Chain A
Amino acid sequence: MKFTVERDLLADAVAWAARSLPVRPSVPVLAGLLIEAGDIDGTEGLRLSTFDYETSARAVLNAHVSGEGRALVSGRLLADICRSLPNKPVEFTIEGAKVSLTCGSARFSLQTLPVDDYPSLPAMPTASGTVDADLFAHAVAQAVTAAGRDDMLPVLTGVRIEIDGSSIALLATDRFRLAHRELTWNPMTPDVTAAALVPAKVLADTAKSLASGSQISIALSAGGSGEGIIGFEGQAGGGVRRTTTRLLDGEFPKVRSLFPAEHVTVARVDKAALVESVKRVALVAERNTAVQLAFADGSLTLDAGSGDEAQATELIEASITGADITTGFNPQYLLDGITALESPVVELAFTQASKPVVLSGADSIDGDADSDFRYLLMPRRLLS
Chain B
Amino acid sequence: MRAEPTILHLDLDAFYAAVEQRDKPSLRGRPVVVGGVGGRGVVATASYEARAYGVRSAMSTREARARCPHAAYLSGRFDAYRAASALVMEQLRRLSPLVEPLSLDEAFVDLAAGDALAGTADVATVTAVAERLKADVHEVTEGLTASVGIGSSKLIAKIASDLRKPDGLVVVAPGTERDLLRPMPITTIPGVGPATAERLRRLGVHTVADAERMAVDELVALLGRAHGEGLYRLVRADDDRPVVAEREAKSISVEDTFDSDVVEQRMVDALVERQATKVVGRLRAAGLAGRTVTVKVRLHDFSTLSRSTTLPAPTDDVRTVVALARTLVHEVDTAGGVRLLGVGISGLADWIQEDLFGALGATGDPGTGSADPAVDAPADGDPAAAPTTEDAADIEAFTVARPWPPGADVHHVDHGDGWVWGAGLGRVTVRFETRRTGPGPVRTFASDDPGLSRGHRAEGGASDPPPASG
Contact = CB atoms under 8 A, between A and B. Distances in A.
Interface string A356-382: 100000000000000000001011111
Given A175-B366, A253-B364, A332-B312, A356 B356 contact: yes
Contacts of B247: 308
Contacts of B365: 253
A84 interface: no
Contact of A330 (B287, B316, B353, B366): B353
A346 B378 CA distance: 38
A384 B287 contact: yes
Contacts of A328: 351
Contacts of A380: 313, 351-354
Contacts of A177: 356
B373 interface: no
A306 B350 contact: yes
B314 A288 contact: yes
Contacts of B348: 288
Nearest to A286: B347
A144 interface: no
Nearest to A356: B356
Interface in A263-318: 286-290, 306, 308
Contacts of B314: 288
Interface in B310-359: 312-314, 316, 323, 327, 347-357, 359
Contacts of A290: 349, 351
Interface in B357-379: 357, 359-360, 364-368, 378-379
Interface in A110-146: none
A228 B112 CA distance: 71
A242 B378 CA distance: 33
A3 B355 CA distance: 57
Contact of A255 (B349, B351, B353, B364): B364
Contacts of A306: 350
B327 A152 contact: yes
A255 B363 CA distance: 11
Contacts of A308: 247-248
Contact of B313 (A253, A254, A330, A376): A330
A152 B368 CA distance: 10
B379 A152 contact: yes
Interface in A178-195: 178
B235 interface: no
A185 to B, nearest CB: 27
B367 A153 contact: yes
Q: Which of B248, B312, B316, B356 has the most A CB atoms < 10 Å from its CB? A: B356
B291 A288 contact: yes
A378 B353 contact: yes
B133 interface: no
B345 to A, nearest CB: 12
A92 interface: no
Contacts of B364: 253-255, 257
Contacts of B289: 383
Contacts of B323: 152
B327 A176 contact: no
B88 to A, nearest CB: 23
B326 to A, nearest CB: 10
B356 A178 contact: yes
A253 B366 contact: yes
Interface string B202-229: 0000000000000000000000000000
A155 interface: yes
A176 B351 contact: no
Contacts of A106: none
B368 A153 contact: yes
Interface of A: 151-156, 173, 175-178, 250-255, 257-258, 286-290, 306, 308, 328, 330, 332-333, 354-356, 376, 378-384
Nearest 5 CB-CB pairs, A to B? Answer: A380-B351, A288-B349, A330-B313, A384-B287, A378-B354
18 contacts: A151-B379, A152-B323, A152-B379, A153-B368, A175-B366, A251-B366, A253-B357, A253-B364, A287-B347, A288-B291, A288-B347, A289-B349, A308-B247, A330-B353, A376-B356, A381-B352, A382-B350, A383-B352
